[in-house]
Amino acid sequence: MMKRLMNKKKYLAVLVPLLATATATATVYAEGLKALDDDQMSAQTGQALLNLSYIAPTDAANIESTRSGGDNNTGFYKLGIEAEMELNANIKNLQLGCGGVNGPGACDIDIKNLSLSGLNDGTVTTGESAGSPTFSDGRPATSAKLTNPFIEFAIKNPDSAAGREMVGFRLSAESIEGLLTAGLENLDSPSTTDGIQTLSGYMQVAGTTGDVNTVASTFGKGTQDCLPRSGGDCQAIGGKIRIPSLFTNRYIRSLPTDSNTTGITVPSLKVDFDLPAFTINGSRQTQAVVEGVSSTIPWLPIAAAGVCPTEYAADCANANAQIEDINFTDDQLYVNITKNNDTTTWPEDCVLGFVCYAKFKMVDGSAITDLKVDITFEQSLSMFHNIPLKGTGGYLSLQKQAVRWPGANSDDVAQRGWWMSFAEPVDLGYLQAQNKVDISAVLPQVADYVTDSLLAGDRISVGFFEAIGVALSTPLTKKLIIDVGNSDPAKLTLQNQQLRSQGVVSNCWGNMTMGC
């Protein structure tokens, strides 16, 4: 099987002219060789173009022998070129290991429209492609730098002439500096014809920050007739009230499906997030899944802008400044007044025997504060385009068994088949989602947190005349600042976000795209 895979000579075409050039150079110099005596020899200095090194199975540098589950009888032979090479290349369709040892129906590596050039010298500062790379003299005029490229072979039983076996090889360089891009366009959805389709390999992504803008939504209204804190898609809210003039305490719960409930508007907001470092590591991967993306919304308006409290002055002002042209005047919840001390079944009850329901409105300046969100980020690899390489090595390898190549990171174990690895964490820069994010999946969780906060805090005080107004169907209006900071983070999954920093710069002159 190994022999059949290695017969794909077209993928090694770049190596043949390189070795041919080295051989021709050596031949030219051989024709002009002159004898030197010892003194003349001692006065000369120089460096070989080619060097050969070997790491035995017992050498300390042989990390394959020491890894758990590793092969302790594999040595590594490396043929390197002591030179700095420059390369600018476009590959329209890179497919390696299709079918083969890892099964039919897919490739180990399948990347459409792959380009390698020099590093960009700037980034877009504003607009839809903010953070994407720019080139002052054009990308095609730049070249990636490969310092000391080499080919390395993994040989099992290297000390046995009869049992010696090649179990893998890799192409790499001691240092690579350049911009690797996958795909031609930064689309708003995954592509089956552009970018990374499958990747077998290892790539660390550095931690970064970013922001998204949310879609305006309606809170507290739904299609489910439910009780507060009942889970699922329920957006019912519960709380407690006191009517001092009537010396009575009661509980209220909202009725999401009642026609009198119009809901509470949650405006579109800019939400900052922290993306932790993560690693893409495995065979035939099609997406990156990042858990633990944390965000906090310090001030979430649920009514028109009002006077900001001192402790939230900056966050409140920033949030209010982002509120779009939204009419909050029709926002209201229809609530049922329930018996005291029963927040499990919330049975219907009345005040003075006849006031059973009320309309409830949020006064200007009402807000939910310190809402924590735990985001899971699922992104198709076809939507990652820019991979800056800034000095450390990467490699492309083929092996018939799992191998940890010399110098590889501890968790970078190349698996059977083709493998592409990047040693240095890739910096994606500041991330901004191009399109607004729907957070409606979080709202049922927020309803539970609001209920917990209202039940734990002071009772909402209702005056005598307000109680009379309720009896006459006049809405009960209150300014509420609801702190949910003690609640667990709300869970949200974001899928396939178009990222502004992933705009692709063509590596061709003029209007050409690939194959130029």
Closest CA to 97 of 199, 181, 202: 199
Report the chain's terminal Cα–Cα distance, integer Å. 35
Structure tokens at 147: 């310092």
Residue 188 φ/ψ, nearest 5 degrees: -95, 10
- Total Cβ atoms within 10 A of residue 442: 22
Mean pLDDT of 403-423: 95
Largest CA-CA distance found in the chain, in angstroms, rounded: 119
Contact 374, 256 (CB under 8 A): no
Q: From CA 174, how far away is CA 171, in angstroms rounded? A: 11
Find the range with the poorest average confidence among 15-24, 33-42, 245-254, 471-480. Answer: 15-24
Residue 480 CA from chain centroid, whole number: 36
Q: From CA 322, how far away is CA 300, in angstroms rounded? A: 11
pLDDT (tens digit, 9 = 90+) per residue, 436-453?
A: 999 999 999 999 999 999
Contact 246, 352 (CB under 8 A): yes
Residue 63, phi-psi category: left (phi > 0), alpha (psi -120 to 50), beta (remainder):
alpha
pLDDT (tens digit, 9 = 90+) per residue, 279-337?
A: 999 999 999 999 999 999 999 999 999 999 999 999 999 999 888 778 888 899 999 98
H/E stretch holding 23: helix 15-31
Mean pLDDT of 101-113: 96
> Is the model's pLDDT at 18 over the cut of 60?
no
- Residue 172's pLDDT is 96
Contact 90, 508 (CB under 8 A): yes
SS3 state of residue 417 = strand
- Residue 202's pLDDT is 97
- Total Cβ atoms within 10 A of residue 355: 18
Closest CA to 348 of 227, 436, 259, 237: 227
> Is the model's pLDDT at 3 over the cut of 70?
no
- Residue 48's pLDDT is 76
